[in-house]
């Protein structure tokens, strides 16, 4: 699969997730098989570009290419300016956020709220493409099926985006109204893929290698994008890639390997965020790693009381050492939904 001039290693991508897909997490997922990773959302507001939060989100030190940065905003000129700011700092792909369902984003008419105003959405796309195209920087679009069940306009907007120069579209199979509730439907993705020439990526409820296979087969999508299922389980990408290539499953990771991966993740995380913020923000990652493991819930409660990186790292090492006394490998994941949802296209043509 290619995005503009960039050929990807495989068809399994890390979805951009605010507060999650920072540089340490992206790099770890890439090491463990992801063929592509997009940064967490970066604001288009110039007055915030020099803030510590934004500078961390825009950090790509040592990251393998292509470097993809997601930008969010509501004003075409400001979004164009944000695209230039990021391409000047090494971005090779600019992703436009029209998929975030968070209230604090949608209340400002950014993210998925833009799908309610197609004229504005298209103006933003055109402005960003005008800046990026002369520099060979590809523009992509991440969106939902629509704002609500009565306003499912993803197909129409995807066609307009393609005509405006967007080189890939990723679609989360839910409306903004659904948030992350219910089951994602991929019929909309199938309709969009049938209509577009550019690559189309399916996102939503892809939690296993079987999900990836089934969604790719049912939609004809060029790739799958994995978000929440990768939290605490970054090796899901090598599992998916192996299964898609061979039809066989990899064994679950060794406890000793997960111990090493998490401790390395923490070192990189503390390096980016510093001691105080790093300790606080690492808690969610540690919690995701241990949530399905024996004793994981009790350990998470204990770990959330620790206030230093040294104490966190020592506690993590001890937890996995004890786990390794009784298990060689992580337990197999529990049963998961097939992730296909409704594959009817009758409502996807709105």
Assess contact for 230 and 29: CB atoms under 8 A.
yes
The helix (H) or strand (E) run that includes residue 142 is strand 138-144
What separation in angstroms does the CA of 194 have from each of 187, 222, 345? 11, 11, 11
What separation in angstroms does the CA of 50 have from each of 47, 53, 120? 7, 8, 27
132 flagged as catalytic: no
**What is the DSSP-derived secondary structure letter of residue 151?**
B
For every residue of 313-337, which 3-state class applies, written as one string? HHHHHHHHHHHHCCCCECCCCCCCC
Which residue of the set 12, 100, 106, 132 is catalytic?
100
Tell me the HSE value of 222 on the side-chain side, using a 13 A CA sphere.
Answer: 22
> Could you give the residue numbers annotated as active site?
100
């Amino acid at each position: 699969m290619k995005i503009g001039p960039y050929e990807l290693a495989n068809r399994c991508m890390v979805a951009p997730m605010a507060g999650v897909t920072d540089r340490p997490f992206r790099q770890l997922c890439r090491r463990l098989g992801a063929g592509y990773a997009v940064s967490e959302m970066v604001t288009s507001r110039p007055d915030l570009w020099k803030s510590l939060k934004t500078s961390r989100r825009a950090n790509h030190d040592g990251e393998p290419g292509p470097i993809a940065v997601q930008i969010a905003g509501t004003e075409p000129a400001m979004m164009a300016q944000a695209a230039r700011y990021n391409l000047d700092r090494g971005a090779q792909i600019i992703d436009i956020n029209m998929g975030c369902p968070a209230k604090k984003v949608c209340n400002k008419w950014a993210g998925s709220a833009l799908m309610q105003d197609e004229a504005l959405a298209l103006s933003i796309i055109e402005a960003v493409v005008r800046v990026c195209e002369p520099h060979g920087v590809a523009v992509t679009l991440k969106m939902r099926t629509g704002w609500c069940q009565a306003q499912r306009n993803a197909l129409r907007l995807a066609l307009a985006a393609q005509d405006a120069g967007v080189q890939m579209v990723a679609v989360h199979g839910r409306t903004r109204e659904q948030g992350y509730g219910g089951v994602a439907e991929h019929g909309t993705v199938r309709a969009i893929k049938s209509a577009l020439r550019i690559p189309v990526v399916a996102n939503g409820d892809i939690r296993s290698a079987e999900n990836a296979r089934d969604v790719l087969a049912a939609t004809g999508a060029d790739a799958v994008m994995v978000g929440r299922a990768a939290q605490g389980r970054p090796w899901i990408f090598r599992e998916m890639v192996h299964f898609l290539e061979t039809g066989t499953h990899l064994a679950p990771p060794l406890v000793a390997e997960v111990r090493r991966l998490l401790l390395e993740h923490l070192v990189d995380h503390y390096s980016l965020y510093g001691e105080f913020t790093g300790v606080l923000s690492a808690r969610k990652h540690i919690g995701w790693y241990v949530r399905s493991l024996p004793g994981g819930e009790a350990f998470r409660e204990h770990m959330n009381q620790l206030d230093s990186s040294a104490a966190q790292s020592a506690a993590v090492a001890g937890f996995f050492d004890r786990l390794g006394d009784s298990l060689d490998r992580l337990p197999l994941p529990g049963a998961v939904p097939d992730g296909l949802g409704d594959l009817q296209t009758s409502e996807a043509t709105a």
